[in-house]
């Protein structure tokens, strides 16, 4: 199962229509093809699906979601955390 964890836009490459996003400390690129031109700015929180930014979300909601994800990770044992990370890395087209 692939979860869309809020990611913060850290850079934008308009020439290639991609953004670099930070997802809980992991940076990856994501396509901007599903968003209106100029609608995503550095510092925005977004949700990704199959390697594309699919929408922006409110910063307060993003930070609350990240807080909950961190709580979940804190109660998981190391083996479960590693399995969850490996599973998310195998989502199709992640980091397109």
Instruction: Tell me the CATH number at 83.
Output: 2.30.30.140
Domain of residue 68 covers: 7-89
Please check whether residue 95 lies inside any domain of the structure.
no
Instruction: Compute the distance between CA of residue 33 and CA of residue 48 in angstroms, rounded to an integer.
Output: 12
Structure tokens that stand for 48 in this block: 């990704």
**pLDDT surpasses 80 at 84:** no
| Residue bearing the bigger pLDDT, 86 or 26 | 26
| Interior angle at CA 74, CA 71 and CA 76, nearest 5 | 115
Q: How many distinct structural domains can be found in the chain?
A: 1
What pTM did the predictor assign? 0.79
Whether residue 94 lies inside any domain: the answer is: no
pLDDT tens digits, one per residue of 69-79: 888 888 887 77
Q: Is residue 41 part of a domain?
A: yes
């Amino acid at each position: 199962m692939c979860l869309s964890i809020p990611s913060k836009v850290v850079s934008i490459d308009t020439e290639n229509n991609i953004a670099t996003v930070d997802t809980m400390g992991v940076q990856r690129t994501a396509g901007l093809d599903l968003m209106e031109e100029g609608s995503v700015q550095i510092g925005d929180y977004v949700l990704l699906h199959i390697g594309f930014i699919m929408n922006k979300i409110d910063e307060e909601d993003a930070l609350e979601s990240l807080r909950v994800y961190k709580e979940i990770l804190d109660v998981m044992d190391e083996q479960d955390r590693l399995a969850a990370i490996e599973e998310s890395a195998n989502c199709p087209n992640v980091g397109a």
